[in-house]
Each structure stands twice: as structure tokens, then as C-alpha cells.
């Protein structure tokens, strides 16, 4: 199972594996990875623009926060630093979601309920990842990084693009 996850990360160019070492104790298997990451984990591209300046700027900040998490992992920072970086990411994500949801409310966005449910699901999943990290499940931070990248770009490219046209038609830019 773990081998398949590592192979998937390698094949998707998330990490290049240099060394893996297994340490077993009575209750857990801890995997220690010395990994090399690509220089830029995520870069903004105008194709991700939702046509609303404040949302685009917040999306860029989310990408920046994700890149900070990537850097912390790349440098082998401890769980405390990675944990505080994840906490900052969660906090900023909540600010961004509030911005979107206020726009939905103000302009009566018809898909508001579904979109807000996605926001709540995301916050719950990331918070669960943080709890796992806090309980010293080291591999979870790699899973979190991949999850965040995939979720963010899918959310922006598909879900947020839906509100983009609606809000633009209401004069929001």
C-alpha cells in the first residue's frame, strides 16, 4: 500500500525518492524519506483566473502558502513548523472561503449551498490531516501536499469557474 503511494508520487513528479528506511516499533511503522522536490511546486497561471480580482489575489496567496508548506517539507523542517504552516494555510483558506461566500450571499448565487458544502468538506479534511500530523504520522504531510495541490487546482479550474461567469454577469470583477 505504502509502496503504491510512493510510486504514484514519483510518477506524478511530486517527489523523487533517494532513500527510504523503515523503522518498526510495537504499534506503528514510520517511514522516513529523504526526498528531493522540484524547485517550484505550484506556479500561478492566468488560465486559473476567475475574473474577480480579490478571488484571484487570494488564490495566489493560497498557492504561496502551499509553496511555503512544500518548502518546509523540502527542508526537512520538524512537525511543529510544518504544523504551523498548515495552520496558516487553514486560516487563510477560511478567510478566502468567507470572501467567496459573502459574494454568493450578496448576489444570490444559485449554487451557493453546494459550493459552501465543498468548502466545509475541504476544511474538515485538511484539519483531519493536521491532527494526523500532530500525532506524528509523518507520511501524512506528503499525502496532504498532494491532496492540497490537486484539490486547489480542481476547485479553481472547475468549481470556482462556475461562479466566475455568474458574478461577472452581476458586474463583479
pLDDT tens digits, one per residue of 64-76:
888 888 888 777 7
Question: Residue 77's pLDDT is what?
Answer: 72
Q: What local confidence, expressed as pLDDT, does residue 57 receive?
A: 95
pTM over 0.75: no
The verdict on residue 22 lying in a domain is no
In-domain check, residue 31: no
Residue 101: the pLDDT is: 96
Instruction: Return the axis-axis angle of helices 112-134 and 79-107, rounded to nearest 10°.
Output: 170
What is the distance of C-alpha 36 from the center of its chain? 19
Asked if the structure places residue 149 within a domain, the reply is yes
In a domain, 57, yes or no: yes
DSSP 17-56: EEEEEEEE-SS-EEEEEEEE--S-S----GGG--S-HHHH
92: nearest Cα among 136, 52, 122: 122
Beta bridge partners of 33: 20
User: 171 by DSSP, 3-state: which?
Assistant: coil
What's the Cα-to-Cα distance from 63 to each of 23, 40, 66, rounded to whole Å? 33, 11, 5
Q: Is 92 exposed, middle or buried (0-12, 13-18, 19+ CB in 10 A)?
A: middle
Residue 120 lies in domain: 42-169
CATH number at residue 60: 1.20.120.50
Looking at the domain assignment, is residue 134 inside a domain?
yes
Instruction: List pLDDT tens digits, range 38-60.
Output: 456 788 889 889 999 999 999 99
Contact 115/100 with Cβ under 8 angstroms? yes
The predicted structure's pLDDT at residue 132: 76
Determine, yes or no, domain membership for 97.
yes
Q: What is the pLDDT of residue 130?
A: 78
Write down the pLDDT at residue 8. 56
Would you say residue 32 lies in a domain? Answer: no
- Low-confidence residues of the chain: pLDDT under 50: 13-38
Q: What is the pLDDT of residue 28?
A: 32
What does the pLDDT read at residue 71? Answer: 82
Rounded-to-integer distance, Cα 2 and Cα 47, Å: 34
**Integer Cα distance of 86 and 84 in angstroms:** 5
Structurally, the chain folds into a number of domains equal to: 1
Is 93 a member of any domain?
Answer: yes
Amino acid at each position: 500500500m505504502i509502496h503504491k503511494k510512493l510510486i504514484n508520487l514519483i510518477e506524478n513528479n511530486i517527489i523523487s525518492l533517494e532513500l527510504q528506511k523503515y523503522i518498526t516499533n510495537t504499534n506503528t511503522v514510520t517511514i522516513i524519506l529523504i526526498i528531493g522536490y522540484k524547485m517550484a511546486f505550484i506556479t500561478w497561471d492566468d488560465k486559473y483566473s476567475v475574473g474577480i480580482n480579490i478571488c484571484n489575489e487570494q488564490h495566489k496567496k493560497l498557492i504561496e502558502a502551499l509553496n511555503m508548506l512544500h518548502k518546509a517539507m523540502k527542508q526537512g523542517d520538524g512537525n511543529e513548523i510544518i504544523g504551523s504552516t498548515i495552520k496558516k494555510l487553514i486560516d487563510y483558506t477560511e478567510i478566502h472561503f468567507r470572501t467567496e461566500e459573502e459574494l454568493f450571499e450578496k448576489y444570490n448565487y444559485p449554487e451557493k449551498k453546494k459550493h459552501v458544502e465543498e468548502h466545509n468538506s475541504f476544511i474538515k479534511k485538511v484539519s483531519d490531516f493536521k491532527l494526523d500530523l500532530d500525532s506524528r504520522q509523518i507520511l501524512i504531510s506528503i499525502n496532504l501536499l498532494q491532496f492540497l495541490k490537486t484539490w486547489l487546482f480542481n476547485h479553481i479550474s472547475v468549481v470556482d469557474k462556475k461562479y466566475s461567469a455568474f458574478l461577472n454577469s452581476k458586474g463583479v470583477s
